[in-house]
Structure 1
Amino acid sequence: MRKFLRKLFTLALVVLVLSTALLAARFLAPISLARDTVEFTIPPGSSLRAAGREIAAAGAGIDPWVLLILARLTGVEASIKAGSYEIHRGITPLELLKKLTRGDFTQAEVTFIEGSTFRQIRQRLDAHPDLRHDTTGLPEAEIMRLLGAPGVAAEGSLFPDTYLFAKRSSDIELLARARRALERHLASEWQARAAGLPYREPYEALIMASIVEKETGRDEDRSLVAAVFVNRLRQGMPLQTDPTVIYGLGEGFDGNLRKRDLLADTPYNTYRRRGLPPTPIAMAGLASLQAALHPAPSDALYFVARGDGSSHFSRTLAEHNQAVMRYQKGGKP
């Protein structure tokens, strides 16, 4: 009887060793792929079994049970992360499982450019092939509600930057990140602002920053441009800035600003109405935020473009008129 039990134990041990070797070979052998690179997406809430089916359906020659057993053996069955992935020839089931538990996503990127309008940002997002377009067709007010800012104007509500994201991420997630980035930068810059500025709240500084963004042709002039508008606010003068007028004209603007446009009474016509417009007119970058909250020490009230990207700044209207004659009308000072 003992001899039989020893033989049975030995047989069981051999079977266990062979099974373990076979499993190890299966776990460490490269997965066959239909192509050099296979891409797949694991939806949120997917089980490992469902993830295995997604991977196999994408063109990877792996049985879902292989991943399931390997995950149970390593204790990571509930640790896979949703997102978009890509795998290449030579990857093993063990390496694939590590990728899924690390969240080693395939990343894409999108850049929000300073001075862009919210409409332009939406067009950029709608055209991006790697995003999930959940905001398409939604009104701006609904998008702002989804971003946790109901009643806040969409214009200027995002921070310009390059954002990396996992493929098939929702565009609303990306907008939320840009919204949080703006809130963080605005709060920080407002806290460190110069004394005596004519803003009642951070939002007014954001509006000013958007004007500075659209009016500045050269970085070195940014704080001087801000100083001109801050000085005008302090003295109760109209800002008289063309970009706000153009924004108020909307999509009807044909690229040629006419005298009748300067006379059109819209909330954004800073020739007709004193003070700041009701909302930002574009997305302001960090440099413009800093300029609006730290304008240069200057008593200039006017500036005119020189034609080379820079501006000439003047203290008086007479000086300004001379500069206009010199730089824009071909006359002599």
Structure 2
Amino acid sequence: MLVRRGFASAALTTRRNFAWLTDGGDAHVAGATDESVAAIVVTARDVRVVTTVIEAKRLADEELGGANLAIEAAPWPDGLQPLLRELPAPVAHDADIEPELRHVRARLTAEEEERLIWLGARAARAVTEVFVATRRGDLETVIAERMALRLADDGVNAPVLLVASDERIARYRHPIPKPKRVERALLLVLCAEWRGLYVALTRQGMLSGRVEEETRKRFAASRQIEIAFNDATVPGRTLGEVFELGIEAYKRSGYPDEWRLHHQGGTIGYRGREILATPNERERVDPGMAFAWNPSVTGVKVEDTLLLQRDGRRAFVTRDDSWPLDASGAPTLWDGR
């Protein structure tokens, strides 16, 4: 790849690429940045990790595992740049070759598939347990913290936690949690991460009473749209072609313009979405890829993570029987407990 693009070496410093190239290693300190505290350096001679003396021992002991990568540690006052400036030029950085990296990164190995399945089961169980534990009067912010704490029991992170209750469900597509008390209805959205890989899911229901008929109608439409997206996700098809088939389902459902109010999802792997599906996206669907489609009609949203396993099987890794399921095995709206 580097030779084809005219680069003599590469220094990759994003957390996603560090995790991908080290079998799930974690090289971050500050949680609010995508930059790692180490670089994966690739030259014609070797592949190694460049970091500072502050991080070298922890990375060697806890993060590199079986990656079999040498570590080069710089004095902490110097940082990484003096060592990186010694690399053969021109040097590729993450952004320079991200399209190529993303293409390879999205096609998971058998071991990565196992990690994704493990993560999906923990994420699904955590969302159900938090929904069941929620009581009228609980704050959205507290509900989000409960979900993060439940995931922490399994060593799982929650980069995206959205919580909406009652009128906020229909008002906002991305409802960050607020110190607002829940009355009856609750929507939970989670992107969970473990060893670099992500899964995504959404669940919705009532703490008390039954779901209104209009909401049921909209949810049924969203489910049919999701089915269309998932059924269209077959090897050889492009994301753009899948997208167009999903939009046709919106038209059939009676909500032809709702797709304009939110993206519809796409590939998922070492980011919450590796590639968003758009009308002209030419990325091809292949075995070993994972997808999270998230169609929505104002007031409802459906979302799960679909893995096209390398052996040909299709697995919804975020679905389990801890949440009420419909006849097809898909999560349904939860009526009041």
TM norm structure 1: 0.26
Whose relative contact order is higher, 1 or 2, with alpha carbons under 8 Å and at least 6 apart? 2
Which has a greater percent of helix?
1
Larger radius of gyration: 1
